[in-house]
Structure 1
Amino acid sequence: MFRSLWLLIGLASLALGIAGVVLPLLPTTPFVLLAAYCFARSSPRLHDWLLGHRLFGPLIANWQRHRAISPRAKLLALLSMAGVLGLSVAMGAPQRVILIQALILPATALFIATRPNGPRKPLT
């Protein structure tokens, strides 16, 4: 029973993570990390697929091994957050929406910016 519950939570988390790629204020990374955690407890096949995914796999592995976010992923996340806020202002979003973004996005950006970068790749 618990295995099925972990699987359902993992699938829902992965769906939210994928939706977060295109929806502002819906984070991708935490949902993908939660999906990996759930799949590790429910479906070795889905866990291996997620870890082997060309986009999500390296991010998950870096987080699991080092609790780190790569500088490139940090930059993309920070630019995306700034872009969402700028787009909201430019499109004339309601003030409450802009206020919520102005409160949440800097806190999220601070968390992301203060995570370690992970191991350096050896020079070859």
Structure 2
Amino acid sequence: MEDSKRTPVPEPKRFPRSVFEQGTEPDVRFSFANERTFLAWIRTALALLAGGVALEALGLGMNPPLRLAASLLLIVIGILVSLQAWVGWRRAEVALRTGSPLPSAPLSLPLALSLAVVGVLVLLGVLVK
């Protein structure tokens, strides 16, 4: 069969279109790195959610109100981190496609501060029984 008789393969529709319709296709290595960063944020979110559930489910001989507060805070942080994963992936992919500077992660500082608060709650929960 001659090459001239081949029918062109249509480009697949990619989600989200609002990202993939912008700019030009970046080097695939950068897109894969962006995806790995997304997956790292997702793993972090899963760990935070699991930690919050485990802290409350296991009890661990802590002060109940402080344990509940730490558990809920971990779960809320896990939810926010999963949103950060998506928003961060999208912002970075658009920047890669348009040649813009890469954006920072706006939840990094609140995440660090929230985890410090969780640490203090757990410490107090262990000390104040």
What is the TM-score normalised by the length of structure 1?
0.33
Q: Which of structures 1 and 2 has the larger relative contact order (alpha carbons within 8 angstroms, sep 6+)?
A: 2
Structure with bigger gyration radius: 2
What is the TM-score normalised by the length of structure 2?
0.32
